[in-house]
Chain A
Amino acid sequence: MNGFPILSIALFAPLVGALLIAFLPRGGGRTIKWIAAAVTFVSLVLSIKVLVGYSFSQGGMQFIESVPWVADLGVRYALGVDGISLPLLLLTNLIGFSAVFASWQVEERGKEFFILLLILITGVMGTFVATDLFIFFLFYEVVVIPIYLLVIMFGSSKRVTKEYAGMKLTIYLLIGSAALLVGLIALFIKAKGLLGFPSLDIATLAGLQYPVPFQVFVFSLMVFGFGTLISMFPFHAWSPDGYAGAPTAVSMIHAGVLKKIGGYGLIRIGLFILPIGARYVAPVIAVLAIVNVVYAAMICLSQKDLKYIVGYSSVSHMGYVLIGFAALNLISINGAVMMMFAHGVMAALFFAMIGNLYYKSHCRNVDDFGGLAHQMPRLATGFMLAGLASLGLPGTVNFIGEFTIFVGAFRVYRSLSIIAIMGIVLTAVYILRALGAVLFGTRREEWDHLQDLQGLEMVPLLVLGGVILVVGILPFLIMNPINSGVGQLLASVGLMQMGGNF
């Protein structure tokens, strides 16, 4: 590379913003927000630049930065991106940027809010660009603190209190990361024995041959850790409560990208380092994935709080990602990565719209609304776009993810896939029921005072909605990078399967 540390700049721009804000006086409302917007914009532009500048003919990790850090443990400050991390890096910054605008109405303790938000964005981004296991884990842990504070300080209490939600979220994340840590230490020690020197570089670790029982053991720990993060059944209980309690921006980032660290970790660390372990455990994941899809979708049908609907729906959609992963072939994992991107954009848009509506009406209950499309046509457009994406309509990016997963998974788990595909019917039912009840029907006078989206409120809708449609219509923009990344990863672990005979 040309020595310009583009990833580091993208990574630390939000952190610099947080520092700048820390030095501002307490009352600096607008300045704080504009700083936050500016630094997230810088990261967004840089991540687009990385996507455009990535050379597919060359493939592999690019934009590498590597500096020795803790020599005794073999830790290096090592960053890099490939076709799998690129879409997720982009996703993080798309959502981070939109989340700032979705939080424009935060006035009270705005300074703390945006500092924490920016730290959160850096933390999430770090996990996707780290090529060193230690750095990955470090950023993962960085995420926990701002999330907890943001939820208990700025959250909302409905079915559960925000304190409960924040605590639940945090404890789940910590328990997951504890299991992960055990696995990582075991891996480190084993690898040190095999290599003769300490290393935490993911690619180096992946180049080793571990005994099968060890692989199964460590991979199972990872499934527990990452599975909790991606809300795999039965470790999903934090997700709906957490999203319901969290403020809009946190729901957006959490459902949009943080959850995806689980899926990303399973692929980048679990599958890459421990492919045989993955093969052993995959059928279990596939079964749990189906439970995710159907169980959560059914629960959505009986939910009345918009945030719970999207919360359970995200659990359901993660089932698709998981079965895509569990099928362990190129097509299905391509689909899983695409689905992570797609779900991220969609969920963020959904939460942004709900947040806006909640801010204006102080209400999230489906039955209390009706005919909002009369008063708020733009908000209705945003809701419909997110909803149609959620039910996997062609033309939205989610269709690409789902369809690809189905094709890939159907080869391996036939009957499980059929059950999973039933999810498309259930999703249509709960999404259309909820959106119909909120947006359409008789106009209700009591909501006449609500203002439609305007000015900066339009930013999340335009950015996220635009991505949903553009990638949905031109899927190769994101699918080509994913395919190159997943293809190389699978080839290196010897799992490359050429399906069909084109």
Chain B
Amino acid sequence: MTNIFHSAWMIPLLPFLAFALIGLWLHRWPKISAGLSLAAIGSAFILSLLVALKIFSGHPGEFYKMSVHWLNMPGLQVDMGVLIDPLSALMLMVVTIVALLVQIYSLGYMKGDPGLASYYAYQSAFAGSMLGLVVSNNFGQIFVFWELVGLCSYLLIGFWFGKNSAREAAKKAFITNRIGDFGFLLGILFLAIVFGTLDYGELAARVPGYHNLAVLIPISLLLFCGPVGKSAQFPLHVWLPDAMEGPTPVSALIHAATMVAAGVYLIARAFFIFNSTPQVMTLIAMVGGFTAIFAASIALVQNDIKRILAYSTLSQLGYMVMAMGIGAMTAGMFHLMTHAFFKSLLFLGAGSVIHALHDEQDIWNMGQLAKKMPFTTWTFVVGALALAGIPPLSGFWSKDEILLGAYTGGHMGLYLLGSLVAFMTAFYMFRLIFVVFFGSRTPENHAHESSPVMTGPLLILASLSVVSGFAGSSLTDNWFAYWITNSAVVHHEPNMSIMVISSLIALSGILLAWIVYQKELISHQSLRQRFAGIYQLLLHKYYIDEIYAWLIKFLVDGVAHFLEWVDLRIINGAVNGLAKCTGRLGQGLRYSEDGQVQTYALYMFGGLIVVLVTALCAVFTALA
């Protein structure tokens, strides 16, 4: 049997091929386009599965690597290649599973959309770019695909380009990410100069022996800018909630499960660099922790079903980044995996609701959908329970790992913060569930359960949300930690009291939501009035968008207008002034050439006198 690893390079290439074929030729036939896209991601899934089976049947330290020269000259070498190790194999599985399910789901969700062919073309391009990112074996390659997933995100957020809001959201996403990528690129350039290579393997061999922190700290900081942009960490988080303008399956795939997690994946990949700079690790943990609580607090009061989920994603990404920062890389990756399943489930569930209600997204216009859409409701509840961290669902295990890491690592503050976020998460998720699916209000709507092509993926994701956590539980001797690890990662024995406490916290969050939104024992309107200041602050997302808009208007556009003035008035003014002077001079001198013989005779006479006087003066001076 041939070595399946030798075919691994086809995993990213197949979706790209589908993209090219659809874009160049098949876009006239939407159904064929969709079919081709599905075939490509399906094959990529099967290949990934085979690759993963092989890598997980070996030993943790084993890897497979191949590469070809792409950009090559003395002093600069960027390869394109494939690196298959347990970490990338895991990501391959997560990405292909979610992408495949989302593409199937989209058959129903996007049915009848006039842009269906381009939708599938973009989906294929995204799948190819994301898989290319996952299998990268050097920083040059990851940067290329990093930007390409950003492009696909841009195209898919702005997919309904007729909407001005979609256009603005897409632009914002791209530009915000570019700011992060600016730092990321600088970090890569520093690496290239200091270590002379961009290859992970070579860097991993050289960085640990390099002790000049004055160089390593800037490198780590700059590299971290990439994840801050892509994984939407504070202060570059602003694009992710707006990205909800895209079709909901896109939000599920790109803005919940895969692309936004690329930042976390990058930290895991480059863990050997970050880990050698404890100062930066602390910063990463703080940024992650802050984003987690910051976003969760906003999610408490949002009214748009997708935005609640978006802020929840932000918060969970913060959780993962925090895990990375406290050195619990395994826990962060574990949470990345479980989150990919339950969050895409939640988004697709929300999509099912939105689809049934004809693009209604305000939760207060929904209610009692449980009877009309039982399937969507119960899968959604499974996803929410997993997110809230109720045992034995997947989120419980992964969140517990992170809290355990914070607790035993001595980060008491972050442990408390994480627990508080867990409470808020349970509360806002069940606020959503009680308002949308249960509750007492009965708004006019004619919702129907979605078609099997949409509910099928929900069922699969719900099952994954239930079982995927066992991979990292003591039931499987923490299979996950056995594979996804790093010499620097410390593992802790499971701590029963932490498990119990975090479960109780999650349950109390759900209970509070039940009291307020189901039983309405406490009126949420009166709460809103009593804490009007805080409520407004949260509703307006701490006014961060407004501050940024003001800064852009006054700083960026102001400077732009000033420089335009400089260019027009000063630079061009000087040029035109010079031209005018020349012209004036000519105008003035023109009068000397009036064509009259008398004038010329006068000039001659005048000249003669000047010469004579000069000569006389010279003679007299010589004599005297």
Enumerate chain A interface residues (CB-CB to B < 8 A).
168, 171, 234, 236-237, 241, 295, 298-303, 329-331, 334, 371, 373-374, 388, 391, 393-395, 399-400, 403-404, 406-408, 410-411, 417-418, 421-422, 424-425, 428-429, 432-433, 436, 439-443, 475-476, 479, 483, 487, 497-502
Contacts and interface: CB of A to CB of B under 8 A. Distances in A.
Contact of B171 (A371, A403, A432): A432
Given A407-B192, A428-B174, A429-B556, A421 B185 contact: yes
B73 A406 contact: no
Kindly list the 4 A-B residue pairs having the minimum CB-CB distance in the complex, ordered from nearest: A499-B75, A500-B196, A301-B560, A394-B144
B161 A479 contact: no
Given A301-B556, A424-B182, A407 B167 contact: no
Contacts of B78: 403
A407 B161 contact: no
A375 to B, nearest CB: 12
Given A417-B189, A476-B70, 9 more contacts: A171-B579, A295-B563, A298-B560, A374-B162, A404-B71, A406-B185, A421-B186, A479-B73, A499-B193
A23 B185 CA distance: 57
Contacts of B147: 393-394, 399
B557 A406 contact: no
A425 B175 contact: yes
Nearest to B20: A469
A443 B560 contact: no
Given A428-B174, A442-B164, A498 B179 contact: no
Contact of B162 (A410, A421, A443, A500): A443
The B interface is mostly helix, strand or loop, or mixed, namely helix
Given A299-B564, A395-B144, A410-B193, A479 B164 contact: no
Interface string B549-564: 0000000110111011
Contact of A234 (B140, B145, B571): B571
A241 to B, nearest CB: 8
Contacts of A442: 162-164
Contacts of B564: 299, 302-303
B69 A404 contact: no
10 contacts: A295-B563, A298-B560, A298-B563, A393-B147, A410-B193, A428-B175, A441-B164, A442-B163, A499-B75, A502-B197
A138 B441 CA distance: 85
A298 B567 CA distance: 11
Nearest to A303: B564
A418 B182 CA distance: 9
B586 interface: no
Contacts, number: 153
Count class of interface residues, chain B: 35 or more
Contacts of B557: 301-302
A502 B175 contact: no
Contacts of A399: 144, 147
B75 A394 contact: no
B171 A441 contact: no
A232 to B, nearest CB: 12
Q: Most chain-A Cβ atoms within 10 A of its Cβ — which of B74, B148, B564, B572? A: B74
A372 to B, nearest CB: 10
Nearest to A373: B161
Contacts of B145: 394
Contact of B75 (A331, A425, A428): A331
Interface in B180-207: 181-182, 185-186, 189-190, 192-193, 196-197
B442 to A, nearest CB: 35
Contact of A371 (B71, B73, B161, B579): B161
Contacts of A425: 175, 178-179, 182
Nearest to A486: B73
A500 B567 contact: no
A432 B563 CA distance: 20
B72 interface: yes
Nearest to A439: B161
B249 interface: no
Given A298-B560, A302-B561, A432-B175, A479 B77 contact: no
Contacts of B75: 329-331, 407-408, 497-500, 502
Contacts of B567: 237, 295, 299
B71 A394 contact: no
B143 A394 contact: yes
A425 B571 CA distance: 25
Contacts of B186: 418, 421
Contact of A330 (B73, B167, B190): B73
B71 A475 contact: yes
Contacts of A475: 70-71
A406 B563 CA distance: 25
A298 B575 CA distance: 21
Contacts of A407: 75-76, 189, 192-193
A433 B172 CA distance: 10
A407 B76 CA distance: 8
B77 to A, nearest CB: 5
B20 to A, nearest CB: 10
Contact of A410 (B77, B171, B181, B189): B189
B151 interface: yes
A265 to B, nearest CB: 22
A409 to B, nearest CB: 9
Contacts of A302: 557, 560-561, 563-564
Contact of B167 (A237, A441, A476): A441
Nearest to B125: A395
Contact of B151 (A331, A393, A404): A393
Contacts of A501: 196
B164 A424 contact: no
B560 A394 contact: no
Nearest to A409: B189
A500 B76 contact: yes
A302 B166 CA distance: 23
A144 B29 CA distance: 50
Contacts of A411: 193
B267 to A, nearest CB: 21
Contacts of A393: 147-148, 151
A57 to B, nearest CB: 17
A393 B147 CA distance: 7
A235 B158 CA distance: 39
